[in-house]
């Protein structure tokens, strides 16, 4: 009986060290038994917020639960497109799912909550322009505004040209305006020629 309590105490200590939000896969890799997680959940000390993702029930309220849950559950994900626009305050759109970029050959994650929209990126189109933002103690990877604009233009037929133009208008109104960076990312995303007339109009 004492062994069970010790296992639970050790698990809770480790989970607290991870800012109270963990993947069961990582917990098991660190030596915590799956049955311990199950027991802690039954006791109400843990709550499962998505497939394989748990948080301490006594933990503080998460300010951006969707982005944080995806960042924990899908470590290779980079927040992109409308979700990135929303984070950077470049759209009036309210994302009803989390838009993420994954490397081209990555296995599709089994994420049941929140709903996600997966977009496959190749090479530099995936690697470049990533910012790391600490939200509620969790590192969330999000494309920067300039890379996001180039991505949105590339996927304009899926998200709507009106969304892209609105984002460019919001971006233009900000003090920070880096036309060189946008042009660089447009080249990486292979939409340089398509974006050029719109960028010239922004100058």
Q: Which two tokens stand for residue 169?
A: 């208008």
pLDDT at position 5, please?
59
Reading across the β-sheet that carries 130-135, which strands appear in turn?
A: 116-121, 98-103, 78-79, 138-143, 130-135
Contact (Cβ atoms closer than 8 angstroms) between residue 98 and residue 70 = yes
DSSP codes, 67-106: HHHHHHH-TT-EE-HHHHHHHTT--S---SSEEEEEETTP
Residues forming beta bridges with residue 50, ordered by sequence position: 53
pLDDT at position 23, please?
77
pLDDT at position 87, please?
96
pLDDT at position 117, please?
95
pLDDT at position 29, please?
81
Answer whether residue 4 shows pLDDT above 50.
no
The model's pLDDT over 136-163, given as tens digits with 9 standing for 90+, comes to 888 999 999 999 999 999 999 999 999 9
Helix intervals (H) in the chain: 2-17, 24-29, 34-42, 65-73, 81-87, 124-127, 145-154, 156-159, 161-173, 179-188, 192-202
pLDDT at position 1, please?
42
User: Does the model's pTM come out above 0.85?
Assistant: no
- Per DSSP, 137 falls in state T
The model's pLDDT over 29-38, given as tens digits with 9 standing for 90+, comes to 888 888 888 8
β-pairing verdict for 98-103 and 116-121: parallel
Answer whether residue 2 shows pLDDT above 60.
no
**Distance (Å, whole) CA 158 – CA 161:** 9
**Distance (Å, whole) CA 195 – CA 193:** 6
The residue whose two tokens read 């910012």 is: 131
The model's pLDDT over 51-103, given as tens digits with 9 standing for 90+, comes to 778 888 776 777 788 999 999 889 999 999 999 999 999 999 988 999 999 99
Average pLDDT, the chain: 88
Domains with residue ranges and CATH for the chain = 2-56 (1.10.10), 65-202 (no CATH)
């Amino acid at each position: 009986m004492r062994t069970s309590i010790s296992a639970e105490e050790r698990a809770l200590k480790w989970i607290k060290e991870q800012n109270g939000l963990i993947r069961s896969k990582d917990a098991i890799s660190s030596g915590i038994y799956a049955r311990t997680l199950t027991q802690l959940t039954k006791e109400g000390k843990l709550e499962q917020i998505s497939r394989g993702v748990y948080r301490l029930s006594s933990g503080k309220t998460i300010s951006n639960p969707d982005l944080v849950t995806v960042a924990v559950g899908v470590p290779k994900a980079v927040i992109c497109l409308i979700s990135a626009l929303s984070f950077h305050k470049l759209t009036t759109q309210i994302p009803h799912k989390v838009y993420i970029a994954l490397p081209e050959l990555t296995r599709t994650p089994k994420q049941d909550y929140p709903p996600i929209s997966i977009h496959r990126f190749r090479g530099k189109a995936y690697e470049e322009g990533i910012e790391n933002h600490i939200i509620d103690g969790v590192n969330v990877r999000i494309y920067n505004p300039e890379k996001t604009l180039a991505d949105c233009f590339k996927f304009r037929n899926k998200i709507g040209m009106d969304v892209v133009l609105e984002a460019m208008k919001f971006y233009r109104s900000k003090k920070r305006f880096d036309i060189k960076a946008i042009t660089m990312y447009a080249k990486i995303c292979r939409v340089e020629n398509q974006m050029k007339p719109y960028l010239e109009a922004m100058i």
